[in-house]
Structure 1
Amino acid sequence: MSDFTGPDQYQKFFDPKAYLERYFSLAGDTVDEYVHFVLKHLSQVFNSGKVKGETLIDIGTGPSIYQLLSACEAFNEIIATDFTERNREEFKAWLTNQPGAFDWSPVVKYACQLEGDRIPWNEKEDCLRKAIKQVLQCDILKDNPTDPVVVPPADCVLSCLCLESACKDQESYITGLNNISTLLKPGGYLVLVGVLGNVYYMVGERKFSALFLTESFIRESLCNAGYVVEEFVSSEKPDESWEGTAQFSSIYVFVAKKMA
């Protein structure tokens, strides 16, 4: 696509604070459909007892923590990664309790509610902070996405809204998928979260491109990359809440097992 948002533009123009304020500031503690859907299904995935282990690598963490809230009790170590320096700095601001860091407490409280309030929300935050051992730069279009750091293969690779943002076309998506697969042990799980049918999303007043994806294309790509899809769930977009902000048809979660 001619209006593809390239890496230099992400480094220069992606504003993590504007992104968080738009998509994760909850009005009256009410979550939108995307946050509800992802928290609900990731809770089911990571509390199932099947997707667990020593290490989880999150690809394209951005400035966000929501996707890790259930994972932190299923893995002893979490490695967060992102392409842009500003996203990593914003993430570290929350991680180290810096003044002015984004307030995730409403989202954390909601995640705890979905899990039956087994632990207080502040303990959930502490659990996540303790589990995060590294915050690394990541480029999924490199053979080693965490170059120059070499990380041991993980038990789970999680990625939310990353491949469709970083990849210009289907060919580069397949390349990115194969590259992040090198970070995963045989028998480990890849958990992909994103939106289908999207072409753009807004951060502040700036438009960022997105790769148009279909369920069938992702399934085929996973199969060709050596995965068996064990779970797929989706939910149609509520039109009114995303008007003018992103153009997509549905939200999805794929859970796929990497074969030997």
Structure 2
Amino acid sequence: MASSTHKLYHVHGFDSRQHLENYMSDKPEMGFEEDSLKFPIESFAKTFSKGHIKGDVLIDLSAGSFVHHLYAACEFFKHIIVLKVSERCILELKRWLDTRTGAFDWGHATKIHLDIEEKSDELQNKEGKVRSTIPHVVKCHFEKENMTDPIVLPPADCIISCGLLDHVCKDQDDYIRFLRKCSRLLKPGGHLIIIGALDMTYCTVGKDRLHIFTYNEDFARKALVGEGFVIDDCKVKKRTAVSDLTDYKALIFIAAHKQN
């Protein structure tokens, strides 16, 4: 299938539950545990445990209906404001936040995080903490200058973007514009943490193949520095998953801060 026929994540929509089942579930056939679950959870736990990234407001601008990347963050921020470009992702996430019947079960991911913290007996407390820290899930529009127009968000101490840039950016210019918008949402000295997939060209959800912006580590680093960020940590993990659902070569985790 030519890339021109791939669906656009933020335009055409996708099956948010199937997305979770494919890449985040605890099913035996789900082959992305090391890459999609353990790598983000371990990276965020290590980064936040250093204690220098904290504050009142964290904005999460990530793909899908993920919550596992927020387990560590909820201990260091009073409020996490989640922005989503898809109504289906909002509904899926709210189902979990409101503990509704049929919500996606994140228990396996919670256990991974608690095993890292050596607090394996606090599963319900951890999920309750995450829920209580997220007061709002807000629809955003990637194309608008103020993505949450007419809502004006408070300046954030930190922004997390997990996988979203890969899906919504059409090219290098788009990626840089996205970083610029993130920068405007941050306080001076605020932190930006990004997880993405390197050298990926497609992502499959159900019968649909989604468009993916293809880039490498060198581009990601230069783009951040070019927009006034100082990179504090960068790690690349080679792919371990065996699956034809997607074709990324590696994952990248970057923690950076905005220069004053």
Give the TM-score taking structure 2 as reference length. 0.93
In the alignment, is residue 47 of structure 1 matched against residue 53 of structure 2?
no
Q: Given the alignment, which residue of 8, 15, 21 partners 2:11?
A: 8
Q: Given the alignment, which residue of 49, 68, 71 partners 2:70?
A: 68
Match of 1:258 in 2: 258
Cα RMSD over matched residues? 1.7
Match of 1:139 in 2: 141
Q: Which amino acid aligns with 2:11?
A: D
In the alignment, is residue 117 of structure 1 matched against residue 119 of structure 2?
yes
Aligned residue for 2:4, secondary structure, equals: coil
Q: Which runs of 4+ in 1 moved over 6 A?
A: none
CA distance in 2, matches of 1:50, 1:42: 13
Residue 168 and residue 234 in structure 1: after superposition, are their counterparts in 2 closer, same or farther (change >3 A)?
same
Q: Do the aligned partners of 2:24 and 2:36 also contact (CA within 8 Å) in 1? A: no
Q: Do the aligned partners of 1:34 and 1:251 also contact (CA within 8 Å) in 2? A: no
Q: Given the alignment, which residue of 91, 101, 104 partners 1:102?
A: 104
Aligned residue for 1:97, secondary structure, equals: coil
CA distance in 2, matches of 1:194, 1:119: 31
Q: Do the aligned partners of 1:141 and 1:176 also contact (CA within 8 Å) in 2? A: no
Q: Deviations over 1:130-159 (max 9, x none)?
A: 000110012333211222211011000000
Q: Deviations over 1:165-205 (max 9, x none)?
A: 00111111111111122111110100001111111111112
**Number of residues paired by the alignment?**
255
> Which structure has the higher relative contact order (CA within 8 Å, separation 6+)?
2
CA distance in 1, matches of 2:145, 2:84: 16
Residue 176 and residue 226 in structure 1: after superposition, are their counterparts in 2 closer, same or farther (change >3 A)?
same
Q: Deviations over 1:12-63 (max 9, x none)?
A: xx00110111111113699333311111011111121011111100013531
In the alignment, is residue 247 of structure 1 matched against residue 250 of structure 2?
no
Q: Do the aligned partners of 1:61 and 1:81 also contact (CA within 8 Å) in 2? A: no
Q: Given the alignment, which residue of 163, 166, 177 partners 1:164?
A: 166
Q: Do the aligned partners of 1:38 and 1:67 also contact (CA within 8 Å) in 2? A: yes
Match of 2:88 in 1: 86
1:220 to partner: Cα distance: 1.0
CA distance in 2, matches of 1:97, 1:61: 21
Match of 2:59 in 1: 57
Runs of at least 5 residues in structure 2 that lack an aligned partner in the other structure: none
Runs of at least 5 residues in structure 1 that lack an aligned partner in the other structure: none
Match of 1:23 in 2: 23
Give the TM-score taking structure 1 as reference length. 0.93
Q: Do the aligned partners of 1:196 and 1:249 also contact (CA within 8 Å) in 2? A: yes
